[in-house]
Amino acid sequence: TEHALLCDVCLRDIGSPAEHIQHAAELDRPPVLPIDGDPDFDCRRVECSRGCDAQFCSRECEALAQATFHGPLCPGAEPQAPHAEAVEAFLDHAHGTDEAFLLGGRLVALVLATARREDCSAAQASLALGDFCRVPYWELPKGAEARAACRDECATSLRLLRRALDGSKPARSAARRRGGTSPASFASAASASAAAAACSGGADGWPSLDEWGGLLGLLRQNALCAEVAAPLAGLLPLLAAWCATHARGGHAKKRPRKGAGPEEKEAGLLAEALDALPEAAGEAVRASALYPTVACANHSCAPNAEARFVHGTTRLRLVALRNIAAEEEITISYIDDNETGSRMERREALRDYRFVCDCSLCLRPPSRGK
């Protein structure tokens, strides 16, 4: 959300259009817009109750974030505090190397927050992750050197994450304090497949490096791309047209003349603000999300359904792309460009998923030249 103001939980628009322009163009103050104060355009904005830069669309989303992924990773209002510096170090490393670490860190924070709230071990709190397929993250790149470098980056990220989450690790549960037993590692033992995939180590309640790599691989193979329309996408052409109508001589890029009326001045200043916007300000915003039910759907290059997000919510719908017969398997596509890409291009795009697609499109005899 670098160029957009969106809720950190549900990706709903927050703030006013003027604030969106100020944020995207990095202006000192928001420009004056002809729609300022219109309730149809202004959206509620709630700041983090602990004082960090995170913003939300409602108190409900803010409370949910504090109780789950955001609370353990919130730097608070004091940027020089040791915890804030540790969180920033983790975030800076993730932004500079691989943003998969961001979602992985949130998932670890969510598990730890759940364990603390439910008074259980981290392994018990992560049972819901047990049935996801996964492969160590550093096995995905091609070549031994690339894999070794990826493993080193994962190790650095885990070290920074543990420092950022220091103090968030749950205390020993009541059962353990009474001498009861509990799973020894962060990895889930909810099923036979999960038990086989569980890594050794992590007995201190933190994920081991192998478990961290497995978690990142889980996200790489199961997370969905959530695409949200940019808040300014439909508004920018209308504002540009208003500027052209009210600016000096109909030229929005001309500075207001001396003695110009209020509307001409506002149009000229707004035109300058619009010119300062990066191209990305009107592009769709992409995020990642993990949905257990949808993750169960297998891939097909000729899918009969697709996942669609309900804008302004965290809900996801599976929408049929054609009539689906009784007992026919529901499939989705894990990749883009199914129709335009060649069979080899599709196989390369699916390489990280570790299977060769045998759908009807891939089994079809190739046409000449492909």
* Domains of the chain, CATH where assigned: 1-67 (no CATH), 75-224 (no CATH), 239-276 (no CATH), 297-363 (2.170.270.10)
Q: Show the tokens assigned to 161.
A: 């994450």
Q: Show the tokens assigned to 263.
A: 């509307």
Q: Show the tokens assigned to 325.
A: 């017969």
pLDDT in tens, 104-128: 999 999 988 888 888 888 788 887 7
Question: Which segments within the chain are labelled E, that is strand?
Answer: 46-47, 55-56, 224-228, 285-289, 298-299, 305-309, 316-320, 331-332
Report the pLDDT value the prediction gives residue 50, as an integer from 0 to 100. Answer: 92
Report the pLDDT value the prediction gives residue 281, as an integer from 0 to 100. Answer: 83
Residues in the chain where the model's pLDDT stays below 50 = 171-203, 249-252, 254, 370
Q: Give the span between the Cα atoms of 55 and 261, in whole angstroms.
A: 37
Query: In terms of DSSP bridges, do strands 224-228 and 285-289 run parallel, antiparallel, or are they unpaired?
Result: antiparallel
Report the pLDDT value the prediction gives residue 255, as an integer from 0 to 100. Answer: 55
